[in-house]
Amino acid sequence: MKQAYEAIEKATRFEKKVLDNGLTVLVHSMPGFTGVHAIYGTHFGSVDRKFLLDGKPYEMPAGTAHFLEHKMFENEEGDAFTLYAKTGASANAYTGFDRTCYIFTATDRIDENLDILLSFVSRPYFTEETVHKEQGIIGQEIKMYDDAAEWRLMFSLYGCLYHEHPLKDDIAGTVESIAEITPELLYRCTQAFYRPQNMTLAVAGNVTMETVMAAVERAKIAPQPGTAQRVGVSEPSGICCKHREFSMAIAKPMLGLGFKEAPAAKGERLKTELICEVLTELVCGSMTPLYRKLYDESLVGSGFSGESLVLDDAVTVCFGGETSKPEYVRELILAEIDRLRKEGIDETLFKLCKNQLYGELISGLEAVDDVAAGLFSSHQRGRTPAEEIEALASLTKQDVQEALNTMLLEENSAVVIIRPVQKEGE
């Protein structure tokens, strides 16, 4: 056991520096690996819609964080993707509920790629013309999302579960909401959330802290004066809507069954995340009796599964995917949850599910992109990858059973069903 912990400690070891300007730099050197993966991210996502900047309140329309992600790749010198193409790096960015990340993966010219990353993200540039152009581009992207059944299912479910929380709004916003975005608002957002104190640079692979710090020094990222503070929303208890149903051009019906849970207590977020992940596996994971029934009777498609989301002020557990009998499958899931609550969690199944999650965490230490992502994510949540692994190792069946007594309650659930569009004559 001691050797196992020593191996994990070595595999999760990284260097950390907090600079005078507030930026946190994390580097996991992996000698012998051919690639380097870098993430330059901010603790700012789609749910961050209200804030105070130097005491003055601002409220952003839905989709602002995602809109800003698109615009940060441009400045007066041109487009970052053009520069990355010259170095051979693979670059991208994404906006989540509580973060926005800019990334690249490369095998050489690491110095140049770090310079590109830090330069563009640290120096915003917006004009009326470029903002208007982007509104058209993202408007088309939003329409594409509207045709994506899984995406629609997820946000329809969040819309049923939450009254006020921005989690219910599409990350990209709507065509109407992004039309309200102005260069002035985007500059206020960068002043509030793209300040170095709110950002993290996480790099993993065949690289050293010295190389990364040299790039940071070349970037000359200035500290952001003043104060910025998030403003949360007041979310009522209980769900907003019990049932929602609509039609799309899909081959089979789709079911979404979601549960709105109480936010994690202070200092308990990691444990809450792990309990939620284990619970989804215990209910309908690939090793469960319900899973076998669903597939033996051809009730669901291969993508049917459970997943959880834990934010600072919101927790959900959802099950969903294609099913020929959505109402029946909903009843089966609720019955299985009730059975686990009354009969208790099987010890062997608990260990199998826990070991599966443990294996996923360990395997994530073998790829530079997973390591960098893990570094960034864990730091944003106030912990380390090693602490996440240790927390999972110490999780007990009793922890999960006690949580189940107050979680996945039917009265806190909502269901969304998407039906195939009926053709004429059917």
Q: What positions carry a catalytic annotation?
A: 69
Q: Rounded distance, CA 250 to CA 4, Å?
A: 48
Q: What separation in angstroms does the CA of 12 have from each of 7, 72, 360, 378, 385?
A: 9, 31, 14, 12, 6
In the block, residue with structure tokens 């993707």: 81
Phi, psi for 256 (deg, rounded to 5): -130, 120
Q: Rounded distance, CA 213 to CA 17, Å?
A: 9
DSSP bridge pairs for 95: 100
CB proximity list for 317: less than 8 A, separation 6 or greater: 258, 259, 261, 276, 279, 280, 306, 307, 308, 407, 408
If you count DSSP H runs as helices and E runs as strands, how many of each does the chain have, helices first? Answer: 16, 16
Largest CA distance in the chain: 70
**Stated length of the chain:** 426
Q: Rounded distance, CA 386 to CA 42, Å?
A: 22
DSSP single-letter state for residue 424: T
